[in-house]
Amino acid sequence: MRIDHYIEHFSECFERQINLLPWEITADIRAILEDIILQLDDNYVINDFIAIHKSAVVENAVVLKAPVIVGQGCFIGANAYLRGGVYLGKGSKIGTGCEVKSSLIFDSTNVAHFNFIGDSIIGCNVNFEAGSITANHYNERSDKNILVVYQSEIIESGVGKFGALVGDHSKIGANAVLSPGTILDKYSVVKRLELIDQVDKFLTDK
């Protein structure tokens, strides 16, 4: 599974991670971002592994827990909460009251209002309408190992938390839910109020 198939500029930003699986990246995201922060230039204001580009706008009452990289021209709305290792690519927007945890969000993506993005990798020009979320944990199952459907097979990730890999230019409708382990191709469209559960669908279809 090559992330560049889903996110065009992934390898340009994360060259050392091109051969890793998405859940391997989110599981090690703190160390990955800390290493990148040490290499950033003076266009960023850096304090205790929180790096904010000088052109970014961070509104009042935003909570940033290191490591965090906020890229050029980003906007973070009031009362947003970023924790566990977060990367925001150029021109991305995190709206009021959103929570982002252990995730990479690439250029020009909008996470609009009251969303949760957890342990996920989100491509460029993706739009999450209000209330849509990436679920990152099997709350309802005794076996917490995240399963992923890829090329008509089920893969055991070996991790207990992984949300989604969302390809470039995808649209996620209001109050939609991406179940743990969701993989969406470029230009995917998820309807409002839709539940995406690829593992259950795969098992049912079999």
Q: How far apart are CA 101 and CA 118, in angstroms?
A: 5
The Cα 109–Cα 186 span in angstroms is 13
User: Which DSSP category does 142 fall into?
Assistant: S
In this structure, are residues 68 and 82 in contact, taking their beta carbons and an 8 Å threshold? Answer: yes
Count other C-beta atoms under 10 Å from residue 120's C-beta: 28
Could you give the CA distance from residue 160 to residue 145 in angstroms, rounded to a whole number?
5
Task: Yes or no: say if 1 and 21 are a contact pair by the CB < 8 Å rule.
Answer: yes
From the list 9, 113, 137, 169, the catalytic residue is: 113
Task: State how far the Cα of 17 lies from the Cα of 140, in Å rounded to an integer.
Answer: 31
DSSP conformation letters of 52-116 = EETT-EE-TT-EE-SSEEE-TT-EE-TT-EEEEEEEE-TT-EE-TT-EEEEEEE-TT-EE-SS-E
| 113 flagged as catalytic | yes
Residues annotated as part of the active site: 113
